[in-house]
Amino acid sequence: MSTMRRATHSGTWYSSSGKTLSGELEGWLSNAERSGSPARAIIAPHAGYSYCGACGAHAYKQVNPANIEHVFILGPSHHAYLPGCALTTCTKYQTPLYDLDVDQKVNQDLMSSKMFETMSVQVDEDEHSIEMHLPYIAKVMESKRGKFTIVPVLVGALDINKEQNFGRLFSTYLADPRNLFVVSSDFCHWGKRFRFTYYDKKYPKIYQSIEAVDRMGMDLIEQLDPQGFAAYLKKYSNTICGRHPIAVLLNAITIAISERQNGSGLHYEMKFLQYAQSNQCKLQSDSSVSYAAAALTMS
């Protein structure tokens, strides 16, 4: 039986008109540049498109749909407590452009690992971290419409061991060029309402300090260093909401390199392509959310 996950954030976080939305996505993508080899994984934000649509385009510009058959979407859980990872029970995900098919076989294979829970349709539809990527995926994969599937994965509050275990599981899929990984994350949530007001006063402005602490984390991600990233989060407590999906990806990469790719000559490179903030904080009463776009290539 087919079960549709509705586009519950359309009309508020992004346009519910397919024509309008398609035009906006095309505009943002046209202003981004391709930086090299096609991406095998990307990191992109999940806020309302008026805030982060332009930033996310820099990651999605690196996607070449030609060989992609499955798109894994790893999004953090904002509302439901989840100690592990969960898979959808829906068979289709709705977007204003066209509906996306969930890969039932991959879901069954993942469930057989006994590592996953399932999320209710209510939890699925309440969560925006996966949904905000669906229109972009539909847009960049337009030429393969009906010929690719998605694998949405809700990532909970994982400890370091679980980040490694899920990374090990996904490393096999990451090594397959038919798979694209989309990791959903905003970066620093700064302000009293986020209970994070770290400010290094060697910077004249608060927003400069915010960027500096974000870039420390971004540098470690580019270095493909899951242990360093974990130590950084412990030291600074930066409010990167997709820290667990990012850590799963970093572990998947390092495991793929160490266990499967020795002697293959494959070179993995993560590169951040764009950084933005919703607002430039200058006062302690201000607040902002940071956005960043990155792409992982293998050559």
pLDDT in tens, 164-218: 999 999 999 999 999 999 999 999 999 999 999 999 999 999 999 999 999 999 9
pLDDT at 99 (0 to 100): 98
Report how far residue 113's alpha carbon sits from residue 132's, in angstroms, rounded to the nearest whole number. 28
- Calculate mean pLDDT across residues 259-285: 85
pLDDT in tens, 104-128: 999 999 999 999 999 999 999 999 9
Give percent of the chain above pLDDT 70: 98
pLDDT score for 278: 98
* Structural domain count of the chain: 1
Predicted TM-score (pTM) of this structure:
0.96
Condensed to tens digits (0 to 9), the pLDDT of residues 33-70 reads: 998 899 999 999 999 999 999 999 999 999 999 999 99
- Give 204: exposed, middle or buried? Use CB within 10 Å, 0-12, 13-18, 19+: exposed
Question: Rounded to whole angstroms, how far apart are CA atoms 185 and 243?
Answer: 7
What is the rounded average pLDDT of the residues 68-79? 97
* Residue in the block written with tokens 């997709």: 242
**What are the beta bridge partners of residue 10?**
14
Integer CA distances (angstroms), 87 to 8, 120, 192, 203, 286, in order: 18, 9, 33, 43, 37
CATH number, domain at 36?
A: 3.40.830.10
SS (H, E, C) 26-77: HHHHHCCCCCCCCCCEEEECCCCHHHHHHHHHHHHCCCCHHHCCEEEEEEEC
Domain boundaries, position 96? 4-298
**Dist CA 184 CA 230 (whole Å):** 18
**Mean pLDDT (the chain, rounded):** 96
- Residue 275, beta-bridge partner list: 292
